[in-house]
Amino acid sequence: MSFEIKNNVFSVGKTDWQEQHFHGQAMALPHGTSYNSFLIRDEKSVIIDSVPKQYTSDYISKIKEIIELSDLYAVIALHGEPDHSGSLGHLLAAKPDLPVYCTTMGEKSLRGYYHKNWNFKIVKTGDKLNLGSRELTFIETPMLHWPDSMIAFLTNDNILFSSDIFGQHYASEFLYDDLVSNCELMWEAVKYYANVVTPYNTKAKKSLADLKSLNLPVELICPAHGVIWRKAVSEIINTYEKWADSYSENQISIIYDTMYESTRKMADAIAQGIRNTDKNVKVKIFNSSKHHLSDIVTEIFCSKGILIGCPTYNYGLLPSTAALLDEITGLKFSGKKAAAFGSYGWSPASTKIISERLEKSGFEIVGNGMKVNWVPSEDMLAQCRNFGAEFASSF
């Protein structure tokens, strides 16, 4: 069923309770997600974004509860990724000359995905579309998180349609931020930022500054995923500003993989050393082969420092550590410290590889890495505790 958010503005998207992964398997979605699409009914009625192709039938039914497709004036494609554009083809098949408002890069991505000569109307920051009783103002937000991304502000009702920005993979029958668990909501919001937006922090900062400089009287933020922000509107904007600025909390995360528990024992001893040195720092330990990479990325995002441990395996790393380092490289974290540790039998290669990868990824490396030959003795575990203490003391 569609839902009227405000004065003939309807939510017509899809709440997806069953989806457990996103971007392939890259992101775990324990709370499902939603693909938000909005219908603004006015003298000129428009649809903002759509839903994945597999949900087209439900989606079209929801729209038809409110308006015939033939009565639509235009589609606004804030972003071309298929989770938001998958049903456009059906809408446009029903009305082939329906204008598709998007950015220059939006046209490129939509042509690339669908190979259709749709009636593209290119908009730039500041362009307006008069709907009759109110108008939409477009604001480009390039690389937040795709080159084609933009957002739109609806005057009079003061609604910001923010595309992926401020989104959360969070399915709920309650559509608003103040009606759901704040803990769950903010975890999904920060996880979304950490995994999707972090590589574009610089762009995010600029887009947020541009948005603030417009002094828009935003009353509702309608993102493309998750619940609508109506209570914590300024809070989520301010929080995004913090997240975009080399964010960290007083947390150190230890992430390891292990074959015969040696590196796991090192991780525990390092954690003890950190705790012995700093009673206030939050220390968390994760096994990278057991915890989902997207959750670990979120914890790294929240950490001021990380230690990555892995035994030497085939003169290199275990697969989960290699995957973690690949992910970290792409995310371009800044302002964080790191160190490496690991056990080995006949080749102490892993710590060197980890340290080099972390340094290339922008981390400040502390120490030369902690290596243990075969199984850690009591003396070696004491050295690991010292290693953890030195890491904690480096802040």
Annotated catalytic residues are 23, 79, 81, 83, 145, 164, 192, 225
User: In this structure, are strands 72-76 and 21-22 parallel, antiparallel, or unpaired?
Assistant: unpaired
User: Nearest-CA neighbor of 304 among 269, 334, 280?
Assistant: 334
Q: How many CA atoms lie within 13 A of 2 on its CB side?
A: 23
Q: How far is CA 38 from CA 2, 66, 180, 234, 285, in A?
A: 9, 11, 21, 22, 41
Cβ 29 to ligand FEO shortest distance, Å:
12
Q: How many CA atoms lie within 13 A of 339 on its CB side?
A: 27
Q: Which two tokens stand for residue 247?
A: 């964010």
E strand map for 209-325: 220-223, 251-256, 282-287, 305-309
Complex with ligand FEO: residue 22 or 344, whichever CB lies closer:
22
Q: Which two tokens stand for residue 38?
A: 């909005």
**∠ CA 228-234-239 to the nearest 5 degrees?**
95
- Give residue 220's Cα distance to chain centre: 20
Peptide bond into 145 cis (omega under 30): yes
What does the alpha-carbon distance between residue 34 and residue 223 come to, in Å, rounded to a whole number?
10
Cβ 40 to ligand FEO shortest distance, Å:
20
Complex with ligand FEO: residue 52 or 311, whichever CB lies closer:
52
Complex with ligand FEO: residue 41 or 84, whichever CB lies closer:
84
Cβ 127 to ligand FEO shortest distance, Å:
22
Q: Which residue is nearest to ligand FEO (CB)?
A: 81
87-103: burial string, b at 16+ Cβ within 10 Å, e else:
bbbebbeebeebbbbbb
Complex with ligand FEO: residue 41 or 79, whichever CB lies closer:
79
Cβ 117 to ligand FEO shortest distance, Å:
24
Complex with ligand FEO: residue 141 or 253, whichever CB lies closer:
141
Sequence-distant (6+) residues with CB within 8 A of 322 are 316
Cβ 292 to ligand FEO shortest distance, Å:
19
Complex with ligand FEO: residue 48 or 269, whichever CB lies closer:
48
Residues that bind ligand FEO (CB under 6 A): 79, 81, 83-84, 145-146, 164, 224-225
How far the first Cα of the chain sits from its last, in Å, is: 53
Complex with ligand FEO: residue 180 or 196, whichever CB lies closer:
196
Cβ 11 to ligand FEO shortest distance, Å:
16
Give the CA dihedral 39, 40, 41, 47, nearest 10 degrees. -50
User: Nearest-CA neighbor of 51 among 14, 20, 24, 80?
Assistant: 14
Cβ 231 to ligand FEO shortest distance, Å:
23
